[in-house]
Amino acid sequence: MSRPRCLPILEKLVAFDTVSRNPNRPLADWVEAYLRGLGVEVRRVPDETGDWVNLWATIGPADVPGYVLSGHTDVVPVDDQPWSSDPFRLRVEDGRAYGRGTTDMKGFDACVLAMVPAMLEKPLARPIHLALSYDEEVGCKGVRRLLAELDRLCPVRPAGVIVGEPTSMEVVIAHKGKESWRTTVTGTSAHSSLAPMAVNAVEWAAELVVAIRAIGRRLATEGPFDPLFDVPHSTAHVGQIHGGTTLNIVPELCWFDWEFRTLPAVDLPALVAEVKAHAFERLLPAMRKIARHVEIRFEQLTELPPVDIAPEHPLTTLTKALAGKNGHKKVAYGTEGGLFRRDGGIPAIVCGPGDIEQAHKPDEFVELSQLAACEAFLERLIAHCRA
Ligand SMILES: [Zn+2]
């Protein structure tokens, strides 16, 4: 195996501490300078502070549909993780490149950037667009801003987007959709000896938790099912609950965080509406019989639409040819692909170097053979775009 040509760039990218809470601007500045040095025009789509920046670049003709290569530039924190070397210094050892983000997903970003000179070598008949986002790890914030500007950045709708999240270069045609919510129940306080005269926020919240769990059970027993997913049905989950102060006070406040993760074919907003209907039509009227000024509030924390592309879609066929794979997979984790599909109207598929098992972990690494495979994939994409 030849040494992947992206390593010097990967070393650069890893050295920027782009944990989502930190501005990614220094990295974006570096990438912009690199691309401009090659003669590529770069468009910045910053947030309102200017410190977090998406980058968009088009190589090739802008007046025909092309392909978007999508990567995020932020990484998850290393706090309290036992790393055996500096996570922001690339360490290449035993056929692996170690460092925060090497798998998720600066490895892909580096491969794409390293292949830009090859894209420029001869004219492309169809363009390749580079989309590098910020804040993917905290709710895909950056790419939403990028997609809001898509008409300006890219007047001709691309034929597809390849999201380079780690799939071990397997072709991933679907992932689930997700919505997460915080529900806050406000009751009334009283001494616990007077419990029936107060609205116990913890107990009413618990009733709603049970209702969510019942929906989860129904999804698990009645489906729909898709055996290509690890968990072959949609799921409901409550992850955190807080309420009350001490045993002899009826708690006035309780909040809990919960989520649905649904198969692409399932109507996710309808499930959320079912929870809200239970809260507002069944629980709240009963609570108000005890006290008037009580309430249940819902606040959406995140939402991410599914990726779902047909096995026979031209983008699927192309991606399989580029990756040298016959089969396809469906995965449990979410990507920006769902937003490209829903908000950008662009068919989306996921294929990138590295194993998702390594993502977010201490001593995160990517196999050099994965980076080389990704570079070969991109070389074939360039050839396809020349023809
Ligand atoms: Zn990622």
Determine the average pLDDT of the residues in 233-242: 97
Which of the residues are catalytic?
A: 74, 136
pLDDT of residue 2: 73
pLDDT at 43 exceeding the cut of 70: yes
Mean pLDDT within 145-173: 97
Average pLDDT over residues 351-376: 97
Identity of the amino acid at 376: A
Q: How far is the CA of 126 from the centre of ligand 1 (A)?
A: 27
pLDDT band at 375 (very low <50, low <70, confident <90, very high): very high
Task: Give the largest CA-CA distance in the chain.
Answer: 82
User: pLDDT of 61-95, one tens digit each?
Assistant: 999 999 999 999 999 999 999 999 999 999 999 99
Question: What stretches of 187-252 adopt beta strand conformation (E)?
Answer: 190-191, 235-243, 249-250
How much is the pLDDT for 22?
Answer: 95
Is residue 387's pLDDT more than 90? no
Distance 137 CA to ligand 1 centre (A): 7
Predicted confidence (pLDDT) at residue 209 exceeds the cutoff of 80: yes
Mean pLDDT of 201-228: 98
Indicate the residue type of 16: F
pLDDT value of position 228: 95
- How much is the mean pLDDT over the chain? 97
* Reported pTM: 0.92
What does the pLDDT average to over 104-121?
A: 98
Cα 246 to averaged position of ligand 1 atoms, centre (Å): 41
Do 37 and 116 touch, CB atoms closer than 8 A? no
Cα of 43 vs centre of ligand 1, distance in Å, is 22
The Cα–Cα gap between 200 and 190 comes to 9
Q: Please tell me the distance between residue 165's alpha carbon and the centre of ligand 1 in angstroms.
A: 5
Quick one: pLDDT at residue 27? 98
Q: Over the stretch 331-356, which tens digit does the pLDDT of each residue have?
A: 989 999 999 999 999 999 999 999 99
Q: Which residue has the tokens 């006035």?
A: 252
Please tell me the distance from the alpha carbon of residue 199 to that of residue 196, in angstroms, as a whole number.
Answer: 8
The secondary element (H helix, E strand) that includes residue 217 is: helix 201-222
Which residues, 6+ apart, have CB-to-CB distance to 326 below 8 Å?
Answer: 320
At residue 1, does pLDDT exceed 70? Answer: no
- Ligand 1 centroid–CA 136 distance in Å is 7
